[in-house]
Amino acid sequence: MKKTLIAIAMSMLAATAFAAKGEFDQECAYGLSLGKHVKTDCSVSEQINGKTYCFSSPEAKGKFMADASGNMTKAEETYGRK
């Protein structure tokens, strides 16, 4: 029983430590929509049309998702100028 609990705990820890790989070289999509380059570890992310987009915080993700289409256009423009 003890070994099973340890294995479960280790598995959960590994899952939370995993960060997704995202579009825009893992820069914050909301930051890019504002014209800023903000690197992230992609621990806050969202799947949009089968692609993973990273955010610097849950708040940034929420603001981006409020107008995902418009913000995506702005983010793509900023990233393209890099």
pLDDT digits 0-9 by tens, 48-68: 999 999 999 999 999 999 999
Contact in structure between 21 and 52 (CB atoms under 8 Å): yes
Check pLDDT > 70 for residue 21. Answer: yes
Residue 69 in domain: yes
Residue 10 in domain: no
What value does the mean pLDDT of the chain take? 86
Quote the pTM value.
Answer: 0.75
Residue 60 domain boundaries: 19-80
Confidence of residue 71 (pLDDT cuts 50, 70, 90): very high
> What total of structural domains would you count in the chain?
1
Residue 33 in domain: yes
Confidence of residue 15 (pLDDT cuts 50, 70, 90): very low
Residue 1 in domain: no
